[in-house]
Amino acid sequence: MPFPADEPYDIHTILDGMRDEYWQGLEQAETGSQELLECLIFVLGGERYAFETRFASGVIRVPRLVRVPAVQDLILGIFNLHGELTAAMDIRPMLGLAQPEITKSGRILVVKSGSFSTGILAEAALGIQELSGDDFQPAVDGIEGARRFVKGEFREEAGPIILMDLEALLASPEILVGVP
């Protein structure tokens, strides 16, 4: 950094300026590195829910479902997904949610676990969004019933988004009946 020969300079002023720039750069890096979680946002029971996109295999319009006799009530039927028979589930009763009628905006969220894929019926799929960890409130540990499938919620200006524990949901006995 060249200095004019006719102007005196103060080394302390220069060092103070450099120190301030350094700390300001660190503060900006910290605020810019907030944890973001990429999630699929959808509607169940009139509320906004989400799960991590690593579980998502696709989102499709609700196809014609073929009823299967003698299966759990949450299985609405099966459908052909790229040559594979896939079950469509309505998990709203498991979560204790209202069950408004599925309209044209209804979607099947195709999710995958380690051993199988299935479809979850949603009233709407709102898209993929990165949610900030700063806005996350974890669920209370030890909750039984429907809340055992909830990790917590994100506090957003447009209202809360409930983060589902899809690993727990896909491993629950209600879903795994008959799966090897």
Q: What does the pLDDT look like over 46-97, one tens digit per residue? A: 999 999 999 999 999 999 999 988 888 889 999 999 999 999 999 998 888 8
Question: What's the first-to-final CA gap in the chain, in angstroms?
Answer: 70
Of residues 63 and 179, more confidence is placed in: 63
Q: Where are the domains of the chain?
A: 36-176
Identify the CATH number of the domain defined by range 36-176: 2.40.50.180
Q: What is the pLDDT of residues 162-173, one digit of tens each?
A: 999 999 888 888
What is the rounded average pLDDT of the residues 104-130? 92
Share of the chain above pLDDT 90, in %: 40
Kindly tell me the burial class for residue 59, based on how many C-beta atoms sit within 10 Å of its own C-beta (0-12, 13-18, 19 or more).
middle
Kindly tell me the burial class for residue 49, based on how many C-beta atoms sit within 10 Å of its own C-beta (0-12, 13-18, 19 or more).
buried
